[in-house]
Amino acid sequence: MAGNHTAKLVAELIKPTVEQLGLILWDVRFVKEGASYYLRVFIDKDSGVSIDDCTNVSHAIDPILDEHDPIDVSYYLEVCSPGLNRELKTEQHFLAFIGSEVKLTLYKAENGSKSVRGILTEYSDGPVLQVEGEVKQYKAAEVAKATLCDLD
């Protein structure tokens, strides 16, 4: 998985700079879409991310990426917010949203469905959800994708 390795390397390089700007480095993804490659840097902060935040981070990390040159192909740099329905990938992501409604997509169907919605009550080797009054523990390895649900 060259994309994951590249994303981790870029995250290590840019995290201090993003934090110096008063932001949280939420995620970094390096993906190929069609013939093009994209380096997507997701940033966050408690009061919400503005276009100016994205522009400032882009300008601040561009010289770091140029200097270290961690990507050997042409790519587009995108700096953006993870959004309201953000993907939860790390333990820190889950812990930040305890008490929120989340949707899990599972690798294997449970009761005929690969999708589960519930309130995230804790994270202990995987998300723990309250689903229709019942507490259910999922191992991290069982979860293909986890996202916050719509806030409306």
At 18-67, the pLDDT tens digits run 999 999 999 999 999 999 999 999 999 989 999 999 999 999 999 999 99
Q: Are 113 and 53 in contact (CB under 8 A)?
A: no
Radius of gyration of the chain (CA): 17
Beta bridge partners of 118: 102
List, in order of start, the domains of the chain with CATH numbers. Answer: 2-80 (3.30.300.70), 91-148 (2.30.30.100)
pLDDT band at 84 (very low <50, low <70, confident <90, very high): confident
What whole-number distance in Å separates Cα of residue 7 and Cα of residue 80?
A: 15
Average pLDDT, the chain: 94
Backbone angles phi, psi at 132, to 5 degrees: 50, 50
C-alpha 148/C-alpha 21 separation (Å) is 25
Q: Which residue has the tokens 């587009």?
A: 76
Tokens of 138: 């999922």
Inter-residue contact 132 to 100 (CB < 8 Å): no
Predicted local confidence at residue 152, as pLDDT: 46
Confidence of residue 151 (pLDDT cuts 50, 70, 90): low
What percentage of the chain exceeds 90 in pLDDT? 89
Sole residue written with tokens 């390089």: 13
The reported pLDDT for the residue numbered 72 is: 92
pTM (predicted TM-score): 0.85
Task: Determine the pLDDT at residue 3.
Answer: 73
